[in-house]
Amino acid sequence: MEPLGGFNRLDRDFRERRFTEGSPALADHVRLSAYVPPASRTVTGLAEDLDVLIGNLAIWSTPAYGGDSLREKAIAALEERRPEAVPALVQRLEDLLDASARHRERLTWLLRAWDAWYSEGRMLRAEHGGRADTEPYRTVRTETLPPASIRDEYRAPVQLKQGVVEALHRLGDPRAAPVLVSALADRDCVQKAARALRDVRTGEAVPALLDAAARVQPHDRAFDDILGTLRDYGLTPDPARERFEATTSPKGRVTLWHLLVELDEAGDQAPPKSAIRDSLIFLAADVRDGRGSREAVDAVYAMDGRPAPRLQDTDMGALPPADIVHAAIALAARGLPPGHDDELLGSLRRMSHLPEVMQVAQSIITERTAEPDVPLLHLALEFVLGAPPWKLEDRMELVRALHGLISHADSRISARARAALLRDDLLFTQMYDDDAAVRQEATTIFEELATPEDRINCAGYARVHRPSLWRRLLRR
């Protein structure tokens, strides 16, 4: 009987489960049938089969009873077989990166399709009413959507990929340089690949490291490793600035700006922070990324010399302040940021059901300006179309503004203003308000604009919402 047999069995079972975790993804890469029990694992035994050695690179945890992890033992054995080990490791990492890249492409396609479907659906419900069948108006047809199950088709062998990168780093063979550069594009490997390229050097590293920097965020752990490696390569601010100027991705511009600030020791090479204001507004509006949104809001407020605001928690996460939402609507209305305006519009439409967002749109519509911004008005009207009246402030002020916009020269503005006023309950609620002056003004507007269909809708509303006899008596 082995000493502490029960404890060792528990430890073995635990580590075997770790080894087979994500087995659908690992099955193509690791020969699980060749798994050697811990008691018989020695460096000599491990060195007998390169495939088993590479598979063991996924086991980074150390045994509870002490000793090196399987990853450490495998790397030691691979170092003894360097001539044949390096090509095998390079090939395995190329296969792993290729599988991850193909899944990432499919996942990006999936998310874009579903985001476009949701965004268009919200716009069509606002345009045609919440009870209307919007399917005939769709450009993104429901039946063409890819199945959401694509997300679960592949589980990335994260530990195995990272173990192979670490092994190539430790072996330090220059033949590994191209695949380590490729690994910078994989979010699971970027940090370890950036570290490895400090020692396994190549002239292709700097452009790839700048590309990698544009894909991470300043608070990511990989950012410091990318920055450190770029400094080791002697990068000056000029190439980084060229990369910054060529980047349209809001996240990439913000991260590259931070990179430039770190590289600019003289303090005169980095662009002003105002150069990334639009990008920060974009990131602040993406409430799905809670931390990124909060940091972007704080950065905008710091740029303006204001203290960081306290964000309001909603069912969508922490909502940006009203001035940030207003700025985001203005950006999206102008088709900014270039190439990413649809993403920003999608972020705004995901929040459009919130009273705070509707009230920002209302403030845009009721604002008195000599020359109203037509694209901004058009988008703001979308966010009040179908809005429940109780989510709006000073409803009569909005009624007056919409009444004025019905005569707007732009037919799109006129049509949306009329729909917001007469299709939904906004004007009807004012016609049955407790205030006699409000009732009179709203009724006058209705009589001026109403079609026979509007009168039928109003009669239906009145049957349900007509004040009781007691309430009518109290009004007298």
Q: Pick from 442, 454, 440, 451: which is nearest to 400 by CA? A: 442
Note the residue count of the chain: 476
54 in the same domain as 181: yes
C-alpha–C-alpha distance, residues 340 and 359, integer Å: 25
C-alpha–C-alpha distance, residues 139 and 135, integer Å: 9
Asked, for residue 177, whether it belongs to a domain, the answer is yes
Of 248, 271, 294, the residue that ends a domain is: 271
155 in the same domain as 40: yes
The separation between CA 387 and the C-alpha centre of its own chain, rounded to angstroms, equals 26
Show the domain range for 175: 1-114+151-200
Range with the poorest average pLDDT among 70-84, 121-135, 323-337, 422-436: 121-135
CB 42 within 8 A of CB 67: no
Please give the pLDDT value at position 460.
80
Please give the pLDDT value at position 392.
83
**Between residues 349 and 22, which one has the greater pLDDT?**
349
412 in the same domain as 294: no
Range with the poorest average pLDDT among 28-37, 107-116, 391-400, 401-410: 28-37
Q: With a cut of 60, say whether residue 299 has pLDDT above it.
A: yes
Please give the pLDDT value at position 296.
93
Model pLDDT for residues 200-230, shown as the tens digit of each residue: 999 999 999 999 999 999 989 999 999 999 9
With H, G, I as helix, E, B as strand and everything else as coil, classify residue 319: strand
105 in the same domain as 193: yes
**Between residues 46 and 249, which one has the greater pLDDT?**
249
Please give the pLDDT value at position 35.
40
C-alpha–C-alpha distance, residues 398 and 403, integer Å: 8
Q: Pick from 113, 115, 134, 114: which is nearest to 124 by CA? A: 134
| Lookup: tokens for 50 | 């390169």
Asked, for residue 145, whether it belongs to a domain, the answer is no
C-alpha–C-alpha distance, residues 240 and 254, integer Å: 12
Number of folded domains that form the chain: 4
Asked, for residue 141, whether it belongs to a domain, the answer is no
Of 249, 271, 293, the residue that ends a domain is: 271
Please give the pLDDT value at position 328.
96
C-alpha–C-alpha distance, residues 405 and 408, integer Å: 5
Of 271, 301, 317, the residue that ends a domain is: 271
Write out the DSSP string of 267-317.
SSSSPPGGGGHHHHHHHHH-TTSHHHHHHHHHHHHHHTT-PPPPPEEETTE
238 in the same domain as 211: yes
Asked, for residue 132, whether it belongs to a domain, the answer is no
Please give the pLDDT value at position 135.
85
With H, G, I as helix, E, B as strand and everything else as coil, classify residue 318: strand
Confidence of residue 315 (pLDDT cuts 50, 70, 90): low
Asked, for residue 332, whether it belongs to a domain, the answer is yes
155 in the same domain as 214: no
Q: Pick from 267, 269, 262: which is nearest to 245 by CA? A: 269
Confidence of residue 27 (pLDDT cuts 50, 70, 90): very low
Q: With a cut of 70, say whether residue 399 has pLDDT above it.
A: yes
Please give the pLDDT value at position 64.
67
pTM of the predicted model, to two decimals? 0.80
Model pLDDT for residues 50-85, shown as the tens digit of each residue: 888 898 899 888 776 677 888 998 999 999 888 899
464 in the same domain as 443: yes
Asked, for residue 346, whether it belongs to a domain, the answer is yes
Please give the pLDDT value at position 429.
84
454 in the same domain as 401: yes
333 in the same domain as 453: no
377 in the same domain as 241: no
Q: With a cut of 90, say whether residue 167 has pLDDT above it.
A: yes
Q: With a cut of 50, say whether residue 393 has pLDDT above it.
A: yes
Backbone angles phi, psi at 317, to 5 degrees: 115, -165
Long-range contacts of 338-342 (CB under 8 A, 24+ apart): 338/248, 339/248, 340/248, 340/249, 340/250, 340/282, 342/116, 342/119
Asked, for residue 366, whether it belongs to a domain, the answer is no
> What is the percentage of the chain residues whose pLDDT exceeds 90?
43
Write out the DSSP string of 12-53.
HHHHHHHHHTTHHHHTTT--GGGPPPGGG--HHHHTT-HHHH
C-alpha–C-alpha distance, residues 377 and 333, integer Å: 8
211 in the same domain as 80: no
182 in the same domain as 69: yes
Please give the pLDDT value at position 8.
40
Asked, for residue 282, whether it belongs to a domain, the answer is yes
